[in-house]
């Protein structure tokens, strides 16, 4: 019986989703192994292997800070990243690059997140943005002396500090859209009201900051789901068919 | 004594980093091919996929330039090759700076001395940076599939609650970031507002000039970030 259930679950997964997760996990394991082996090879060849004692204090300090934050990041962003989670966490820059690119790509393709199409589009966006970053940095390495004065210009430095609000400004508009398909969620923003008020209070009190965002999101996910559940049970948040006019207009677009 | 700079600028490290980057690019290319095929099978047109690629590529340029700036910062203390690897893939400026600072602090030296010190200091920095970041990737390997496909199944099941719930993850993310960015300081708020307004304007123009839709995010980011210089000048 349990075996049958397991087989049914496997059948329900789209072949692409199955492939994307399987290949992603293999890629991630190979990537972690390769990343860890680089310092060992270099230190062995140059005879400069540090002792365990030399590495331990730094390792404890960074893991104590980054460990919980990394776990929170995986918990917070995996539902949005889908099968592109592996490539995203291998290539980094989750919030300042991958998530905005995925949201933008899904809006352009008019596909819903957490569907097979949405997942495939998310993987395309993640792969393209990872490749662009790698290429730009490679160009940066080659043209280092030329680009250094441009990037170190005080105006450019100031502007680069404001990347995150610039990204969220463009993504916020997509938040107003309640669905890309045949149905939409009525009053879809209401479940975010309580978490937004809580975070506002924390920010005003000086506790909330972008550095803590990963941890705050993991806390706010159950709060948002709970609010959505209550509002859905009361019939305030509900799924309604998109009116024909709207569908035609979006098809034309 | 072998100095840190010898290892940091070594051809061996360069080759290892280049091979690592090629592995990531190879998987990225394979992913695009496979995902595009599946999209086409599901009725997403080639034109739409091409638009997604173009829009993603253009919107990735500005954030990548910001990462390039972080790379330049790290080159001062770690040479060119190692920061190139770390910031091209898994790392970030803040993480790398923290990891290297903790390591050199414990060894009683300074960031500015890494390249001139004994090479095992540079070795320790590489080790700490590499091992200190693996928690997230390991958690992803272990749990991401079950987590992500579980939500997908709830949504694909077309249950009304599944559809409502799957939107909650986006809402939770926005409900955290928007208030933080709104109430941090005035330049941050105004930069976000400019980006929102530019996106809105591009959306209106994009109804007639459809090509613009692929560049909306890149344009909004550039204009908003440029405006931040003005806001900082006025209000900070």
Q: Is residue A24 part of a domain?
A: yes
pLDDT tens-digit readout, A44-54: 999 999 999 98
More confident residue, B184 or A248: B184
Q: Is residue A25 part of a domain?
A: yes
- Is residue A147 located within the same domain as residue A38? yes
- Is residue A36 located within the same domain as residue A116? yes
Q: Is residue A7 part of a domain?
A: no
Residues in chain A closer than 8 A to B66 (CB atoms): 96, 160, 163
B221 within 8 A of B176, measured Cβ to Cβ: no
- Is residue B43 located within the same domain as residue B95? yes
Overall size of chain A counted in residues: 253
- Is residue A131 located within the same domain as residue A193? no
Note whether A177 contacts B: Cβ–Cβ < 8 A. no
- Is residue B183 located within the same domain as residue B118? no
More confident residue, A144 or B37: B37
Mean pLDDT of A136-147: 87
Nearest to B221 by CA among B78, B62, B96: B62
Highest mean pLDDT among B25-29, B74-78, B154-158, B176-180: B25-29
Q: Which residue among B114, B133, B152 closes a domain?
A: B133
Residue B93: the pLDDT is 76
Q: Is residue B143 part of a domain?
A: no
pLDDT tens-digit readout, B93-104: 778 878 888 888
Read off φ and ψ for residue A240, nearest 5 degrees.
-125, 150
Residue A9: the pLDDT is 47
Mean pLDDT of B107-135: 88
Q: Is residue A1 part of a domain?
A: no
pLDDT tens-digit readout, B201-233: 988 898 888 778 777 887 888 899 899 999 999
- Is residue B31 located within the same domain as residue B129? yes
- Is residue B123 located within the same domain as residue B224? no
- Is residue B18 located within the same domain as residue B82? yes
Residue A63: the pLDDT is 85
Mean pLDDT of A23-34: 95
- Is residue A217 located within the same domain as residue A112? no
- Is residue B176 located within the same domain as residue B84? no
- Is residue A186 located within the same domain as residue A172? no
Task: Give residue B149's pLDDT band: very low, low, confident or very high (50, 70, 90).
Answer: confident
Q: Is residue B20 part of a domain?
A: yes
Note whether B186 contacts A: Cβ–Cβ < 8 A. no
- Is residue B211 located within the same domain as residue B126? no
Helical residues (DSSP H) of chain A, grouped into ranges: 2-12, 15-45, 52-81, 85-91, 99-109, 116-142, 144-151, 154-160, 163-175, 193-204, 213-233, 244-252
Kindly state the tokens that stand for B13.
């490290």
- Please tell me which of the candidates A81, A169, A225 has its beta carbon nearest to residue B165: A225
Instruction: Tell me how far apart the alpha carbons of residues B23 and B44 are, in angstroms, rounded to a whole number.
Output: 28
Q: Is residue B160 part of a domain?
A: no
Q: Is residue A6 part of a domain?
A: no
Read off φ and ψ for residue B234, nearest 5 degrees.
-85, -40
Residue B158: the pLDDT is 58
Q: Is residue B153 part of a domain?
A: no
Strand A238-241 relative to strand A183-186, pairing: antiparallel
Q: Is residue B188 part of a domain?
A: yes
- Is residue A135 located within the same domain as residue A212? no
Residue A182: the pLDDT is 67
Structural domain including B88 reads 4-133
Interface confidence (ipTM) of the complex: 0.84
Residues in chain B closer than 8 A to A253 (CB atoms): 207
Q: What is the number of other CB atoms lying within 10 angstroms of the CB of residue A202?
A: 18
- Is residue A25 located within the same domain as residue A108? yes
Task: Give residue A179's pLDDT band: very low, low, confident or very high (50, 70, 90).
Answer: low
Q: Is residue A207 part of a domain?
A: yes
- Is residue A95 located within the same domain as residue A165? yes
pLDDT tens-digit readout, B123-146: 999 999 999 889 889 999 999 888
Instruction: Tell me how far apart the alpha carbons of residues B90 and A163 are, in angstroms, rounded to a whole number.
Output: 19
- Is residue B110 located within the same domain as residue B201? no
Kindly state the tokens that stand for B204.
């209106």
Structural domain including A207 reads 181-242
Residue A252: the pLDDT is 46
pTM: 0.81
Q: What percent of chain A has pLDDT over 90?
A: 34
For chain B, positions 26-55, list CB contacts with chain A under 8 A: 27-32, 34-36, 38-39, 42, 44, 48-49, 51-53, 55
Q: Is residue B149 part of a domain?
A: no
Note whether B225 contacts A: Cβ–Cβ < 8 A. yes
- Is residue A149 located within the same domain as residue A231? no
- Is residue B115 located within the same domain as residue B16? yes
| Cβ within 8 Å, pair B166-A113 | yes
- Is residue A83 located within the same domain as residue A125? yes
Q: Is residue A251 part of a domain?
A: no
- Is residue A169 located within the same domain as residue A194? no
Give percent helix, percent strand, percent coil of chain A, each to the nearest 5. Answer: 80, 5, 15
Residue A251: the pLDDT is 44
Q: Which residue among B84, B115, B133 closes a domain?
A: B133
- Is residue B91 located within the same domain as residue B186? no
Kindly state the tokens that stand for B42.
């599901």
The residue whose two tokens read 């330039």 is B65
| Cβ within 8 Å, pair B188-A165 | yes
Q: How many domains does chain B have?
A: 2
- Is residue A219 located within the same domain as residue A159? no
Instruction: Tell me how far apart the alpha carbons of residues A137 and A132 are, in angstroms, rounded to a whole number.
Output: 9
pLDDT of residue A11 exceeding 80, the answer is: no
Q: What percent of chain B has pLDDT over 70?
A: 98
pLDDT of residue A2 exceeding 70, the answer is: no
Residues in chain A closer than 8 A to B184 (CB atoms): 203, 209-210
Q: How many domains does chain A have?
A: 2
- Is residue B121 located within the same domain as residue B225? no
Kindly state the tokens that stand for A221.
């996910």
Q: Is residue B150 part of a domain?
A: no
Least reliable range by pLDDT among A17-31, A57-71, A97-111, B76-90: A57-71
- Is residue B110 located within the same domain as residue B177? no
Nearest to A9 by CA among B161, B157, B163, B41: B157
Task: Give residue A34's pLDDT band: very low, low, confident or very high (50, 70, 90).
Answer: very high
Q: Is residue A62 part of a domain?
A: yes
Instruction: Tell me how far apart the alpha carbons of residues B34 and A83 are, in angstroms, rounded to a whole number.
Output: 12
Q: Is residue B139 part of a domain?
A: no
Going from the C-alpha of A223 to that of each of A25, A198, A206, A220, the distances in angstroms are 30, 10, 21, 5
Nearest to A182 by CA among A231, A112, A229: A112
């Amino acid at each position: 019986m349990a075996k049958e259930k397991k087989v049914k679950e496997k059948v329900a997964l789209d072949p692409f989703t199955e492939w994307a997760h399987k290949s992603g996990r293999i890629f991630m394991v190979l990537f972690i192994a390769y990343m860890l082996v680089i310092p060992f090879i270099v230190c062995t060849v140059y005879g400069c292997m540090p002792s365990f004692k030399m590495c331990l204090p730094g390792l404890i300090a960074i893991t104590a800070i980054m460990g919980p934050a990394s776990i929170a990041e995986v918990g917070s962003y995996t539902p949005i990243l889908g099968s592109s989670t592996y490539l995203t966490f291998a290539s980094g820059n989750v919030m300042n690059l991958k998530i905005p690119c995925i949201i933008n790509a899904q809006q352009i393709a008019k596909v819903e997140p957490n569907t097979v199409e949405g997942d495939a589009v998310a993987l395309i966006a993640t792969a393209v943005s990872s490749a662009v970053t790698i290429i730009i940095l490679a160009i940066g390495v080659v043209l280092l002396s030329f680009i250094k004065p441009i990037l170190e210009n005080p105006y450019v430095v100031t502007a680069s500090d404001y990347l995150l609000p610039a990204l969220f400004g463009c993504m916020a508009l997509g938040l107003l859209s309640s669905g890309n398909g045949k149905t939409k969620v009525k009053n879809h923003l209401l479940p975010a009201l309580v978490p937004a008020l809580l975070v506002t209070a924390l920010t005003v009190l000086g506790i909330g900051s972008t550095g803590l965002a990963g941890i705050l999101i993991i806390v706010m996910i159950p709060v948002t789901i709970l609010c959505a559940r209550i509002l859905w049970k009361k019939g305030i948040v509900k799924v309604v068919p998109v009116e024909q006019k709207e569908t035609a207009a979006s098809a034309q677009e | 004594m072998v100095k840190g700079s010898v290892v940091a600028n070594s051809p061996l490290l360069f080759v290892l980093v280049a091979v690592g980057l090629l592995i990531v690019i190879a998987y990225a290319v394979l992913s695009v091919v496979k995902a595009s095929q599946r999209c086409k099978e599901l009725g997403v047109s080639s034109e739409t996929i091409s638009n997604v690629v173009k829009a993603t590529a253009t919107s990735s340029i500005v954030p990548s330039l910001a990462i390039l700036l972080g790379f330049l910062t790290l080159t001062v203390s770690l040479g060119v090759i190692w920061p190139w690897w770390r910031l091209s893939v898994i790392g970030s400026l803040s993480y790398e700076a923290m990891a290297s600072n903790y390591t050199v602090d414990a060894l009683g030296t300074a960031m500015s001395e890494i390249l001139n010190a004994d090479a095992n200091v540079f070795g320790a920095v590489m080790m700490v940076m590499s091992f200190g970041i693996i928690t997230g990737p390991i958690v992803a390997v272990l749990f991401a599939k079950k987590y992500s496909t579980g939500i997908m199944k709830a949504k694909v099941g077309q249950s009304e609650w599944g559809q409502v719930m799957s939107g909650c993850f986006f809402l939770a993310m926005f409900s955290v970031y928007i208030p933080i960015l709104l109430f941090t300081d005035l330049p941050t708020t105004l930069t976000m507002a400019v980006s929102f307004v530019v996106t809105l304007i591009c959306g209106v123009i994009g109804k007639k000039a459809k090509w613009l839709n692929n560049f909306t995010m890149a344009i909004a980011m550039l204009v908003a970030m440029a405006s931040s210089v003005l806001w900082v000048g006025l209000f900070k």
